[in-house]
Amino acid sequence: MAQVWIIGSGRFGLRAARFMRKDKSRRMDVTLVDRDRQSLEKAGSLGCTTVAGDGVDFLFKEMTRTRGPDWVVPAVPVHLAWEWCRFTLGTHRLVSCPLPDEIDRCLPNPMRGTDNQIYVSHADFLCPPNCSEPDDKCTVTGQPRKKDMFRLIAELNVPEVLPFVIQSRQLGPGVGGYSPADLYALADRISRHKGQCLVATACRCHGVISGGVVT
């Protein structure tokens, strides 16, 4: 039975849980983690295991290289992979810093967020929540698919800023996640670097980028 940890039990987390519990092709043991006990009650009614607490802290403490789920689904309003890497490497080693304006000019539809983050997307419209991420064309426009966002970010050539990217893989319509092995590989690559960097989570169409310095 595949184990899935969904970090966050808001709208996106509950949608992911509903899909996985209904997927008869795969048996899944689903755990949802959230500080909000009221939202967790809805998850419990779906037959999921629930954990009340901070999602980043839970992932940092409960997951190791040899113990953890098959998949982690980020569904919290923070950049989960970035925050987990900071906890794993040490917040004194991986420090948040602003990203150069040049990055905005290199990627589609950039939007600056808080905490030195940039959100990017191939879409300038609201994507359907059940997009199947087809190989050949966009489900909304019918146009040929553009270059994968995770590749675009990984290939950024901004002076003195090295990109580190983890791919969010589609687990179902509108549901993306990554494996613990992918997370540890990301942290290992960052740990071998010194200087300014960016850390991104991206699927084929969208991405979130955090700026940092490795000391």
| pLDDT at residue 200, as a whole number | 98
pLDDT over 90 at 152, yes or no: yes
What topology does CATH give the domain 1-77? Rossmann fold (3.40.50)
**Taking Cα atoms as reference points, which of 69, 47, 43 lies closest to residue 58?**
69
Q: What is the mean pLDDT of the chain?
A: 93
The pLDDT > 70 percentage for the chain reads 99
Instruction: Work out whether strand 111-112 and strand 117-121 pair parallel, antiparallel, or are unpaired.
Output: antiparallel
Mean pLDDT of 186-190: 98
Q: Domains of the chain: which residue ranges?
A: 1-77, 78-215
| Cβ atoms 56, 38 nearer than 8 A | no
CA Rg, the chain, in Å? 17
With vertex at residue 183, the alpha carbon angle to CA 68 and CA 175, rounded to the nearest 5 degrees, is 80
pLDDT of res. 128: 79
Whole-structure pTM value: 0.94
Query: How sure is the predictor about 141, in pLDDT bands with cuts at 50, 70 and 90?
Result: confident
Cβ distance 6 to 36 under 8 Å?
Answer: no
43-61 in b/e form (b: 16+ CB < 10 A) is beebebebbeebbbebbee
CB neighbours (10 Å) of residue 111? Answer: 11
Whether the per-residue pLDDT at 166 is higher than 90: the answer is yes
Predicted confidence (pLDDT) at residue 145 exceeds the cutoff of 90: no
